[in-house]
Amino acid sequence: MTFRYIGSKARVVEAIMRCVGAPDGGRFVDAFCGTGAVAIAASRAGWPVHVNDHLQSASLTAFARLTSREKAPFRHFGGYEGALEALNKAPERQGFIWREYSPASGRHCGITRLYFTEPNACRIDGIRSAIRTWSDEGRLQSREQALLIADLMGAANKVANTAGTYGCFLSRWQRQSEEALVLEPRELPERLPPSTMEVGDVRGVECRSEDTVYLDPPYTKRQYAAYYHILETIALGDEPEVEGVCGIRPWRHIASDYCYRTRAVRALTDLVAALPARRILLSYSTDGHVPLDLLVEAMECSGRVSLHHLGEIGRYRPNQAASAGAAAVGEVLIAVDRPAASSKAAA
């Protein structure tokens, strides 16, 4: 299994940063942050960063990447590595992940789901429960809690028996899914610029006129809430009613408008028009269901538009139909500049 975040910009982030440029006094707002690949590049370039996604799992993943040692001292555990060491020894638990997403699900609901082996599912439940307890006892700051949950999601990704997303599981165990789940420390920089996070629909994202807003919406019908449902459950630590062979948590209440061809252009036009920021950078993939010229025409109603071609990246191929299409996706950045936005706000 290779964990795959659909639409991740990890492979074009340098080209994006050339368009973003140096910090200019405002923040860099990554409003559909996903994995935070662009947010962390902006932070390393010196921007104060705000991340948002409608999935808690995505916002936490991105926020964790923006964390420095200074911001996460883990005083109650003698440091970050000490906290991970303690979590790796947390007692295993037969909890929700074990009940719904390991072969134990066959005994509980009659559908045998092979997302995780029983021991690994019990480790996920045990570690998630320990993080909650530490947090309830006041032994973790919220930033430290976010980092540990993100580390747990990362460790779960390494042993998940999937083809890259959680839309379905594989019918036979892959070698890596039979290995024991272990939390591994990431490299934490000593210091990074300030950062904040939010979880919610992009239309409510907290943003100011002096900010640069980066928008990387979905451009295909694949709903992230369904494709990454187990990560969302780990992030939230809840026990939803799940359904179907794959045990998907309820997601339709946050179905994204941008995933529907008929709604996407309108939704993006309204979004850009409503954002108060003076500079908006909109990522576009040729893979998507929206024609570029239509989108550019719509953006011209909001400000001065310029196009930046970022290069090509390999296509996500979940099935044979997708494999039959073009091998590469062209990545474009549509910049919308509205100097009037800042003067209007200042007036």
Ligand X SMILES: C[S@@+](CC[C@H](N)C(=O)[O-])C[C@H]1O[C@@H](n2cnc3c(N)ncnc32)[C@H](O)[C@@H]1O
**Cβ closer to ligand X: 5 or 47?**
5
User: At closest approach, how far in Å is the CB of 228 from ligand X?
Assistant: 8
User: What sign for the dihedral angle of Cα 293, 295, 300, 301?
Assistant: positive
**Cβ closer to ligand X: 158 or 222?**
222
Check if the beta carbon of residue 27 is closer than 8 Å to that of residue 211. Answer: yes
**Cβ closer to ligand X: 90 or 146?**
146
**Cβ closer to ligand X: 204 or 325?**
204
* Nearest partner of 276 among 213, 216, 215, 334, judged by Cα: 213
**Cβ closer to ligand X: 7 or 126?**
7
Chain centre distance of CA 318: 19
**Cβ closer to ligand X: 104 or 277?**
277
User: At closest approach, how far in Å is the CB of 30 from ligand X?
Assistant: 7
The two most distant CA atoms of the chain are separated, in Å, by 65
Give bridge partners of residue 337 from the DSSP assignment.
279, 304
User: At closest approach, how far in Å is the CB of 312 from ligand X?
Assistant: 16
User: At closest approach, how far in Å is the CB of 230 from ligand X?
Assistant: 14
CA distance 275 to 341: 9
Cβ-Cβ contacts under 8 Å for 216 (sequence gap 6 or more): 7, 9, 30, 32, 33, 34, 38, 282, 283
User: At closest approach, how far in Å is the CB of 313 from ligand X?
Assistant: 11
**Cβ closer to ligand X: 221 or 309?**
221
The per-residue b/e assignment along 285-318, b for 16 or more CB within 10 angstroms, e otherwise, is bebbebeeeebbebbeebbebeeeebeebeebeb
**Cβ closer to ligand X: 169 or 258?**
258
The per-residue b/e assignment along 76-109, b for 16 or more CB within 10 angstroms, e otherwise, is ebeebeebbebbeebebbebbbbbbbbbbbeeee
Chain centre distance of CA 98: 24
Q: Note the residues at the interface with ligand X (CB under 6 A).
A: 5, 7-9, 32, 34-35, 37-38, 53-55, 58, 201-202, 216-218, 224, 256, 258
User: At closest approach, how far in Å is the CB of 309 from ligand X?
Assistant: 17
Half-sphere exposure of 212 (CA within 13 A, CB side): 24
User: At closest approach, how far in Å is the CB of 104 from ligand X?
Assistant: 29
**Cβ closer to ligand X: 5 or 80?**
5
CA distance 163 to 171: 11
User: At closest approach, how far in Å is the CB of 129 from ligand X?
Assistant: 26
User: At closest approach, how far in Å is the CB of 59 from ligand X?
Assistant: 9
Q: What stretches of 130-222 adopt beta strand conformation (E)? A: 195-199, 212-215
Q: What stretches of 2-67 adopt beta strand conformation (E)? A: 28-30, 49-53
